[in-house]
Amino acid sequence: MADYGELKERVAIITGGGQGLGRAFALAFAAQGAIPVIADMNADRAESVAEEVRQMGGQALAVHTDVSDVKSVQDMADAVMRTFGRIDILINNAAIFSTLKMRPFYEIPIAEWNQVLDVNINGALHSARAVCRPMMEAGWGRIINVSSASVKEGRANYMHYTTSKSALIGMTRSMARELGSRGITVNALLPGATLTEVERETVSPAQMEQMVGRRCIPREETAGDLVGTVLFLASDAAAFLTGQCVTVDGGMTHS
């Protein structure tokens, strides 16, 4: 992994940081000397990741956060500012996905549809709104929205998820226009189907095998395949890169 020394002591908020990709991102930032803030609905998981960072010799803060709730998100940002006096990086990673059942859009319960959009879209908006002012005052910031490569193929039977991740691309592009003059870059990461410790009952081994077979690099994708891109986007090396969608899926999609 590349060494991004300029990330040392940068404060990086990772929503949904208590497991899966969020946990991997938190540990990767900590390895670079950054200070990850693990914002998660599950307070125990958030604290567990923070303790992993401390065992590495780093600093971390765990904050119980419901990204769909404006006050909860603002309280989280306020706690970070009180503790560290700065917010440098936001990884909008929190999302509802692994617990969803695959089904046609006309069978998705409306309550479930609304919940997915509330967390996956509104949660990213609430988080960006809460952190952008400290970033603007500092004249430096990085916002990385975790979208999905599934939006490029219009994956069936996950329409609420795919719709929400498509919206993040539009959000990324508009936000980049509004914040670029303030020293803040905004980019989107589009991962392919990625293996983490989080179980996904709705993705069968046969489905995973089929996806792997479509990749230019025909193997399973892991969280480790994504952390390098996230660190790069957060670094000074990507200072002139904004409003972009970076797909990391082993070449399964090309457009």
- Residues serving a catalytic function are 161
C-alpha triplet 101, 167, 227: angle, nearest 5°: 80
Place of tokens 């046609």: 104
Spatial distance between the Cα atoms of 226 and 216, rounded to a whole number of angstroms: 16
Handedness of CA 135, 123, 32, 43 (dihedral sign): positive
Alpha helices in the chain, H assignment, sequence order: 20-31, 43-55, 70-84, 110-117, 123-138, 159-179, 205-213, 224-234
CB atoms within 10 A of CB 169: 18
Q: Hey, what are 70's tokens?
A: 């404006």
Sign of CA dihedral 93, 61, 4, 176: positive
Instruction: Please give the single-letter amino acid code of residue 126.
Output: H
